[in-house]
Amino acid sequence: MPRIMIKGGVWRNTEDEILKAAVMKYGKNQWSRIASLLHRKSAKQCKARWYEWLDPSIKKTEWSREEEEKLLHLAKLMPTQWRTIAPIIGRTAAQCLEHYEFLLDKAAQRDNEEETTDDPRKLKPGEIDPNPETKPARPDPIDMDEDELEMLSEARARLANTQGKKAKRKAREKQLEEARRLAALQKRRELRAAGIEIQKKRKRKRGVDYNAEIPFEKKPALGFYDTSEENYQALDADFRKLRQQDLDGELRSEKEGRDRKKDKQHLKRKKESDLPSAILQTSGVSEFTKKRSKLVLPAPQEAQNLMALTNVDTPLKGGLNTPLHESDFSGVTPQRQVVQTPNTVLSTPFRTPSNGAEGLTPRSGTTPKPAVNSTPGRTPLRDKLNINPEDGMADYSDPSYVKQMNDFEIVLPENAEKELEDREVDDTYIEDAADVDARKQINRGHMTTEAKRAAKMEKKMNILLGGYQSHAMGLMKQLNDLWDQIEQAHLELRTFEELKKHEDSAIPRRLEAGLGLEQGRGSQLPDMAAVRGPWGTKAWRLTASSGISIIWRRWVGICTLTRFSRVCMHIKVGKGSWDFPESPLPYA
């Protein structure tokens, strides 16, 4: 039978330290991730341990007298509601319950003056603590188990990675996998050296290996297959039913048009047969429409009965009992009116005496009418409590009432127009400063809200367009560099063009100077030797008795763009020498 591990039990010092470090890294909301570091504790137990013992805000000092008095008072007001009492006192619910039981035991011992050793709340040997989260941690043993050491090393490795990257974990897993492979390889080599051959087990894949087999393959039968008995029927395809409209089905517009045409034909036949009902149907009036009448209910009279029964004086004053309204519906025949003795004590407030019932509440279900042998011309009944409708209180058809005169005339005051003009002219009203500040505050709040919304939208746009902006900045930088290069090239081009103009103008002067010098000194230079050097170079060396040596070189240069000839003249007199600059000549 496999070993069953039940999570829970006494907390150890190692587990407490791991829980503290995990809460520092993962926070107080990811208890499942925190519990994955502790193999013997669940997420609920980790949360309870933190909030019942390890939280730095929990007070673990001695209870003061004020706290004990507050605890006893709140326990009397809210018995068994320790979760409500705990934050008021500043302790945990388990601490409040434990100290309350301690105070009760202390009071009981003081009353009995004897100590009870058999406390049922104390744990007996062999029993499991139901609330280990509220108890101090057990110290770690010197020789810890392998699973505890593995749990500690794993927690240390996971909690050390504070940057939240998977690189270290992936590298560690890769290293463990490589170590496992090398160990298995070494084991197989040692077994093979000992003469034991172990075939490597290959893990069978659950799916289909398309490289090794053919899915849904039907292998043909061995031998030749006789096709003489086959009855093959060719497919007679009806291509007329393969059109697009047949494949798509009927359109909704076509169906609605057909139904509309059918309704028109039906209405036409109905007009021919039954014209009035057709007119009612086309006008939108139903045949059996009937306006519902307003629901009319009698006035509520039970409230008068309750008020009359409540406001009853002592029976020592005499008189009749409390008159009540009859709310039954016994029949349609009129009931006989019983003559009652008037009672001034039981008169309903805010009511004037009615006809024939002085000081009595009128009975429900009967229409107020003048009693027999009553004095005419009395004040009619006025219901100030609005219990009965006004139309049933008095008979206005009595000839003793004065008829109403509806002749009236509206007369405006003499200064009405002037007062209106004065109101329009009077604009000296000054608004209160508090109202102005309130309106400004409201406008400021609206502006702040709009600014926050605009900032959020700007941030979102920056996130969405960040790559495009960086790419655009790079392109702009490249474009600026290219423009700089183009401007530099244009500047160099203009410079060389100016130099070319100066050189072109200086070439004739140099030629004239060279030829004049050659003609003037030609008679004094008797020996002249022509030497052809490499690359087509010609040099004439002229020497004279006066010690002047002139070397005039001319060589042909070939470039990629132009072909030109250069002339250089070197004059040496004694120890001094002069070099004339080179001047390009067009090569003929």
What are φ and ψ of residue 357, in 5° steps? -135, 80
Print burial letters for 452-467: b (CB count within 10 Å at least 16), e (below 16): eeeeeeeeeeeeeeee
Residue 130: exposure state from Cβ atoms within 10 A (0-12, 13-18, ≥19): exposed
Cβ contacts of 535 within 8 Å, gap of 6 or more: 555, 556
Least Cα distance to 369 among 385, 381, 359 occurs for: 381
What are φ and ψ of residue 478, in 5° steps? -65, -40
> What are the structure tokens assigned to 162, written together?
């504070």
CB atoms within 10 A of CB 21: 17
pLDDT for 124: 76
Chain centre distance of CA 574: 98
Q: Residue 245 and residue 61: Cα distance in Å, rounded?
A: 88
Question: Which whole-number Å values give the CA distances from 490 to 179, 328, 501, in the listed order?
Answer: 68, 117, 17
For every one of its 588 residues, what pLDDT tens digit does the chain have, with 9 covering 90 and above?
Answer: 455 667 888 999 999 999 999 999 999 999 999 999 999 999 999 999 999 999 999 999 999 999 999 999 999 999 999 999 999 999 999 999 999 999 999 998 887 765 555 666 677 777 788 888 999 999 999 889 888 999 999 999 888 877 667 777 888 899 999 999 999 999 999 999 998 888 777 777 778 888 888 888 888 888 888 888 888 777 777 777 777 777 788 888 889 999 999 999 988 888 888 766 666 666 665 554 556 777 777 666 777 777 877 777 777 777 677 777 666 555 445 555 555 665 554 455 444 444 444 444 444 444 444 444 444 444 555 555 555 555 545 555 666 666 666 666 777 676 666 666 666 555 566 878 888 999 999 999 999 999 999 999 998 888 888 788 888 889 999 999 999 999 999 999 999 999 999 999 888 888 888 888 777 765 554 444 444 444 444 444 444 444 444 444 444 443 333 334 444 555 554 455 555 555 444 433
Question: Which whole-number Å values give the CA distances from 97 to 58, 155, 244, in the listed order?
Answer: 15, 34, 81
Q: Where are the beta strands (DSSP E) in 292-405?
A: none
Annotated domain spans of the chain? 13-161, 506-586
Q: Residue 102 and residue 122: Cα distance in Å, rounded?
A: 12
pLDDT for 366: 46
> What are the structure tokens assigned to 279, written together?
């007119």
The helix (H) or strand (E) run that includes residue 567 is: strand 563-573
